[in-house]
């Protein structure tokens, strides 16, 4: 997987209500890319055969 750019990380932050500015933006991008790279190495047998389930919270809990 290609590394996320600072612009992509900034857009992801905005999508969840964060406005990440320099110099933190570069640090966040570096950390996020490192985490994604490590997650690529995780290979649980059969995990892709399981259908994801939606998370349904009781009304009033968020």
Listed residue (46, 33, 47) closest to 1, CA to CA: 33
Q: Average pLDDT by consecutive 10-residue portion of the chain (62 residues)?
A: 94 96 96 94 84 82 57
Distance CA 8, CA 24 (A): 14
pLDDT for the residue 59:
79
- State how many domains the chain has: 1
Q: Which domain holds residue 27?
A: 6-42
The pTM score is 0.68
- Inside any domain, residue 10: yes
Q: How many CB atoms lie within 10 A of CB 25?
A: 16
> How many residues are recorded in the chain?
62
- Specify if 1 maps to a domain: no
pLDDT at 54: 86
Q: Confirm whether 32 is domain-assigned.
A: yes
33: tokens are 């890319």
């Amino acid at each position: 997987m290609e590394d996320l750019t600072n612009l992509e990380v900034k857009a992801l932050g905005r999508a969840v209500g964060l406005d990440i500015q320099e110099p933190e933006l570069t640090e966040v991008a570096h950390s996020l890319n490192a985490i994604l790279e490590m997650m690529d190495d995780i290979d649980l047998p059969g995990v892709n055969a399981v259908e994801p389930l939606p998370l349904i919270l009781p009304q009033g809990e968020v």
